[in-house]
Amino acid sequence: MSETKRGTPPVERAWQKAVAKHRKPVMRSSVWQLVNSLAPYLALWGLMIWTLNISYWITLAIGVVASGFLVRIFIIFHDCGHGSFFKSRRANRVTEFITGVLTFTPYRQWRHDHALHHANAGDLDRRGPGDIWTLTVREYLGAPLWKRLSYRVVRNPFVLLVVAPLFVFVVQYRFPSRAGGKRERIGVFWTDCAMLAIVALMSLTIGFKAYVLIQLPVIMLAGTAGVWLFYVQHQFEDVQWKRGQEWDYEEAAFSGSSYYELPRILQWFTGNIGFHHIHHLSPAIPNYRLERCHRENPMFQKVPTVTLWSSLKSLSIHLWDEKGQELIGFGQLKAIRRDPQRHSLSTSSKRSP
């Protein structure tokens, strides 16, 4: 049973009872999801190889669909990391390794960083591995010029959604993190070895150039989608962040994680990860049971809802304003710097009932 506030004893709450019956994975559902994700992905790979000699544009078009299946495979990897996809720990670990190789992600290192994210999401005092770099207004204004410029570059939409995903999945994940231990380093090594074996096999069969022409756009598109999903689930207009002792597990899930309401087809490809508030309340729920948990419990429907259209605003908000208790853009920051007194008054009125 989870704690509510750090340092306080566990408390039985309504949401804990609501999620309890959805926590157990269903073998047939897990196996079917593996089949309907891996089989189409591998089939599309074969089709892309065949179309290379016909038209690379056709190959790229098929690659867009293949990247959708790769996102779905990553969700399976993600569930295995939480130990929620199968009842068997061994089955989770084997599946996690295989799907991690396909998604260019070292399983143990990612699991370690992602566990930190779940433990600290929405806590301003515990930002770190597994999170999108986020500064407060005060931190940004007090930072040296090089750090402010770096932050603006990182938060630029092109860098965030095009450059960063490719760099993270293709380059960064090939090396152990300094925050990880021996097990994490070994996990990176075995993932890299398996990937190298695949590259060697593909080079001997279809050729290295053909492999790169297929794999690179697929991993880039899937990586972009994955980073976007993670970004918008914790960087949206009504998000709430707290400091230290004010942080609460339940509130962090309900107010610090979005319900990303996607069109049905996108919800399927993203493995229901849009029900992110429920996932943060109970990571033990398999992705294929999140929607039903949401539908059956009205308490989960009274959370900030982000649509495909409204989520685009997330690209323009970058800094956490502790006075206004909201994420703001660099344009709003200019107004605050010009008239800090007016900002103080406006935020005070916002907090008033």
Which range (86-90, 117-121, 163-167, 218-222) has the least confidence?
117-121
Contact between 57 and 92 (Cβ < 8 Å): no
CA-wise closest residue to 189 among 78, 113, 129, 106 = 106
Read off the pLDDT of each residue in 223-251 and give the average, rounded to a whole number. 89
> pTM value?
0.89
Task: Report whether pLDDT(179) > 80.
Answer: no
As a whole number, mean pLDDT of residues 328-336 equals 85
pLDDT of residue 343: 54
Is it the case that residue 15 has pLDDT exceeding 90?
A: no
Give per-residue pLDDT as tens, 250-288: 888 888 888 999 999 999 999 999 999 999 999 999 999
Q: Summarize the confidence of residues 75-100 as an average pLDDT.
A: 96
pLDDT of residue 341: 57
- Write the CB contacts of 32 (distance below 8 Å, at least 6 apart in sequence): none
CB 114, CB 187: distance < 8 Å: no
Return the SS3 of 319. Answer: strand
DSSP string, 249-318: HHHHHHHHS-EEE--HHHHHHTTTTTBHHHHHH-TTS-GGGHHHHHHH-GGGGSS-EEETTGGGGGGG--
